[in-house]
């Protein structure tokens, strides 16, 4: 097999594969207003197919990141709680071992990767996904962008075809882009040099993206907080998306 998969040393020196890093995301729920900016940014960045009101109602929309809204308390003392949910990039991802064709697998840098060309659409991964963050292409997505919308597609992201599964990639195209840039300039990647589309567009800076293995990074500092928790932690899926909750106000 090619060395860039097996040889970690080779990866860090020459390959753009970013081993030695462990990407993570922190979501500060105490700041989230549920504005939905991250959802829009994700749609624009990742060429998510559009779904009309009927298909959205039928659960066939594409929201690699979605704002879940929960009501707390009894009327009239009700309060809306917002929680942005995206692929948790679990370190022990239950969706991976069930795929019969290796269309989804774990990369050296802790990403739960999706190979669209390899996917045959058994949809087993979404069954075994406790977070329901995998999205199946029920339609031919290319037909979903009326003119001139095809012109706004992001050339760095492939447009998926009908019959395959897709999900949040932690904007892997941005990771690769900046790694490449840093390599050309002969320097190491700086923390906060780039971020995911959702984090970039969040007005309240709810989402912070970075390398969990770099002790100096913003995410590493934030996950030390006592406010931290992870979704369905008892399942042992080891997500790398950390939520913060429980501050004043």
Q: Which residues bind another protein (CB under 8 A)?
A: 1, 55, 58-60, 66, 68-70, 85, 94, 97-102, 118-124, 126-132, 134-140, 162-165, 231, 235, 237
In this complex, which beta carbon is closest to another protein, that of residue 41 or of residue 99?
A: 99
In this complex, which beta carbon is closest to another protein, that of residue 21 or of residue 66?
A: 66
Q: For residue 61, what are its two tokens?
A: 């929309």
* Least distance to another protein, CB of residue 51, Å: 10
Tell me 234's DSSP state.
G
- Name which of 51, 80, 49 is nearest 67 in CA terms: 80
Write the DSSP assignment of 65-97 as a string of letters. Answer: EEEEEEEESSTTS-EEEEEEEE----TT-THHH
* Least distance to another protein, CB of residue 96, Å: 8
In this complex, which beta carbon is closest to another protein, that of residue 68 or of residue 193?
A: 68
In this complex, which beta carbon is closest to another protein, that of residue 53 or of residue 186?
A: 53
Cβ proximity of 242 and 26 under 8 Å: yes
* Least distance to another protein, CB of residue 160, Å: 11
* Least distance to another protein, CB of residue 217, Å: 28
98: burial class by Cβ within 10 Å (0-12, 13-18, 19+)? middle
């Amino acid at each position: 097999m090619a060395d860039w998969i097996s040889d970690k040393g080779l990866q860090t020196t020459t390959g753009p594969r970013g081993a030695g890093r462990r990407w993570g995301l922190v979501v500060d729920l105490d700041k989230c207003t549920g504005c939905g900016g991250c959802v829009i940014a994700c749609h624009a960045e990742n060429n998510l197919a559009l779904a009309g009101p009927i298909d959205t109602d039928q659960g066939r929309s594409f929201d690699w990141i979605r704002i879940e809204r929960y009501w707390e308390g009894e009327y009239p003392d009700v309060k809306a709680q917002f929680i942005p949910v995206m692929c948790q990039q679990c370190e022990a991802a239950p969706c991976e071992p069930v795929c019969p064709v290796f269309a989804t697998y774990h990369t050296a840098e802790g990403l739960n990767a999706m190979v669209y060309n390899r996917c045959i659409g058994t949809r087993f991964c979404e069954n075994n996904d406790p977070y329901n963050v995998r999205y199946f292409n029920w339609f031919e997505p290319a037909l979903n962008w009326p003119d001139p919308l095809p012109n706004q597609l992001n050339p760095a992201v492939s447009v998926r075809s009908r019959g395959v599964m897709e999900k949040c990639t932690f904007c892997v195209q941005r990771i690769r882009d900046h790694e490449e840039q840093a390599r050309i300039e002969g320097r190491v990647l700086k923390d906060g040099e780039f971020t995911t589309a959702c984090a970039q567009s969040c007005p309240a800076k709810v989402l912070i993206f970075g390398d969990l293995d770099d002790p100096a990074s913003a995410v590493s500092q934030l996950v030390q907080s006592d406010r931290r928790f992870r979704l369905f932690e008892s399942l042992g899926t080891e997500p790398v998306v950390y939520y913060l909750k429980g501050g004043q106000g």
